[in-house]
Structure 1
Amino acid sequence: MALTPFATKPTLVGELVTLRPIRAEDADTIDALIRTDPEISILTGSVRSSTEPPMGVGIPVGVGIEELRGIYGRWAQAEDRLVLAVIDNSSGRMVGEVVLLDWDEANRSCGFRALIGKQGRGRGLGTEATRLIVEHGLGAMGLHRISLEVYDINPRARHVYEKVGFIHEGTGRQALLLDGEWVDVHCMAILGPEA
């Protein structure tokens, strides 16, 4: 089997953050970030009610910590995604993760998602982490397009994506039912020539 652009797991160093390859034991930190910050589950559309227990993005309901470690261990080796831990350079602590996933080999494109815990917000860490992984994807990995979806209830993330260069391509009207109210989702993407 030929190696994919996702087979290499780089460490990317910025002024504010270092992105390093995810490890199985990072599941403990991600689990703690999600459980102590219900806003993550709400803003990512992982729950249908703000009163539901927090859940992780892309993590099946009812997954225990051992199984979550297994998932992260597999993601660390996966050739169809790149999952990097976001490390705050000022404290050395992991504050989240950034992910390139849903690889479309024929079109050299993939999706993007980010999770930044509350201790990593408001200081530019998410912006720099997003910029670093996008530059790596469009540069070293040779991707042509990186796309994402962001809910209307998350203007902070949309602002970050716009700062990095993502362009709004359309709106999925009433895509999420949260607390009995419909929420739109915004589709955004960045192309290699735009970065």
Structure 2
Amino acid sequence: MSALRDTPTLSGRSVRLVPLAAEHTEAYFAASLDEEVRRLTGTHRHLTYAQAREWCGSRSGRTDRMDMAITSPGDHRYLGELSVYSVSPENESAGYRIALSAIEFAGQGLGREATELVLDYAFDKIGLHRVWLYVYAFNMRAIAVYRSCGFAVEGRMRDALLWEGRRHDALLMAALRNGARTT
């Protein structure tokens, strides 16, 4: 699992993925306050700045997960964050989550590019066979992006999220190493 301990920098055309660190605290905290980001991720709990600082500062050197900041290649602007977590070496599988830090970044292909970079790393460097995620059924944009990256719906958790008095389903999706992925 040294591929997790030594979190790489992954570069694409429009995004650069770097290890999440204390330097990202301010932007990470600000993103946690964005109501639309909170709705799309189903995040009820509000972080304090101290909690955000502790989280960002404690990510390096972990062998059970990989937490990365999504930044722009040119100016290193913070665009969001992602994680490969719940890594099961025995099953060659792990969970995945991604959150862009503001709705202004939606529709630009940033999430898709970041996801493709992570899947390539997860399959080719970590040696995973399966990467899974949960997405709320109302998040059609994310579902379309995940499908374009090779994820398929495997199940539905009914009424998994209660948000502002309404219940929403969550979909379990997964991509397999040898699955049909476009890059």
SS for the counterpart of 2:96 is strand
Q: Deviations over 1:92-138 (max 9, x none)?
A: 31110111001112101110000102232221111101110111101
Cα distance 1:178–1:67, how it changes in 2: closer, same or farther (>3 A)?
closer
Q: Say how many residue pairs are matched.
A: 179
Q: Deviations over 1:147-184 (max 9, x none)?
A: 00000121111111111110111111111112222111
SS for the counterpart of 1:40 is helix
C-alpha separation between the residues in 2 aligned to 1:93 and 1:25? 12
Question: 1:24·1:76 contact (CA, 8 Å) conserved in 2?
Answer: no
Match of 1:50 in 2: none
SS for the counterpart of 1:27 is helix
The residue type paired with residue 31 of structure 1 is F
Scaled by the length of structure 2, the TM-score of the pair is 0.91
C-alpha separation between the residues in 2 aligned to 1:68 and 1:174? 29
Question: 1:176·1:182 contact (CA, 8 Å) conserved in 2?
Answer: yes
The unaligned stretches of length 5 or more in structure 2 are none
Cα distance 1:178–1:66, how it changes in 2: closer, same or farther (>3 A)?
closer
Match of 1:34 in 2: 32
The unaligned stretches of length 5 or more in structure 1 are 48-54, 56-60
Alignment of 1:1-195 (within 5 A): 3-35=1-33, 37-47=34-44, 55=45, 61=46, 63-89=47-73, 91-118=75-102, 119-194=104-179, 195=181
Scaled by the length of structure 1, the TM-score of the pair is 0.86
% identity of equivalent residues: 34
SS for the counterpart of 1:75 is coil
